[in-house]
Chain A
């Protein structure tokens, strides 16, 4: 798993060197039975192409949308997902856990 997440950092570097807009999303905190451990990455390019996983599929769609915003603005964001979230029905975690994801642009 760790090796895979490190490979994603290499992917992010490759994409950026190719001239793509790139954002890196990282699980920074988890509570309860979160699907992916702290340190897991999702790498997103300006077209919405993504590699990796921060939740095993539950909230990737929402993270990609926010990431496109971060690529545009350049300002990092902290996203929180969980069952307590108002959007739980749409993008909540089915496992009942809660995660915090840091999204930053690769400049």
Chain B
């Protein structure tokens, strides 16, 4: 491998951008495909499946064995609400390899004592989120039950490329939320990005079960194709 190729790969990772290194195991030729170029690549379908699974592996193409080194950024979960569900979610998310950031302007909630192992921002979402930024590998969870706080975060999240946006609350609560978002100028397509009620329907009751349902939904959104099919099916 050329040092220049290796350093481009490392650079993409440092900038939280996905890339796939394609190595022909017969001819030993190598090339790096950036995420933005995958759609136009001759191996486009194979590359996008590999990236969706976040899994390196050998593929066969035109009689050649080719190894795909997949580099996908670590998922970042930004949880709005330093609440009980977030406390349960932090260790589970870490097990899954995700980074978690907690945002809650209520200082009594957003204390390091309640969240010893993660970044906690005791600030308003509209102030702190632009500083944190949000890319395609970011998930937003609105968990405060307080429209003032959740809406401020939604206003930012819906304008970002975040791959997952979930909001806690019943259908009735979400109905009112939709009205408020429409008043802010968001159209139906934008509002449909919000998973509400948040999480997979597994009958979750306890905070830990709700955290599990949210992480399950995030995993599904990450790994399944947009039509809900598993890779390879």
Q: What is A's interface to B at a CB cutoff of 8 Å?
A: 1-3, 6, 9-10, 12-13, 16-17, 24, 26, 28-29, 38-39, 75-76, 78, 102, 104-107
Interface residue SS majority, chain B: mixed
| Prevailing SS type, chain A contact patch | mixed
Of the candidates A1, A13, A38, A75, the one whose C-beta lies within 8 Å of that of B6 is A13
CB contacts between A and B, total, < 8 Å: 60
Closest chain B residue to A14 by CB distance? B10
Instruction: Decide: A16 and B54 in contact? CB cutoff 8 A.
Output: no
Whether the pair A106, B97 counts as a contact (CB closer than 8 A) is no
Number of interface residues of B (CB under 8 A): 23
The answer on a CB contact under 8 Å between B67 and A26 is yes
Closest beta carbon of chain A to B5's beta carbon, Å: 9
Given A3-B97, A38-B55, answer yes or no on A106-B25 (Cβ-Cβ < 8 Å). no
- List the A side residues contacting B56 at CB < 8 Å: 26, 38-39
Q: For B26, give the chain A residue with the smallest CB separation.
A: A78
Complex contact B69–A39 (CB within 8 A): yes
In contact, B58 and A28 (Cβ under 8 angstroms)? yes
**Chain B 1-29 near chain A by CB (<8 Å), digits 1 or 0:** 11100110110010000000001010010
Are A28 and B1 neighbours in the complex by a CB distance under 8 Å? no
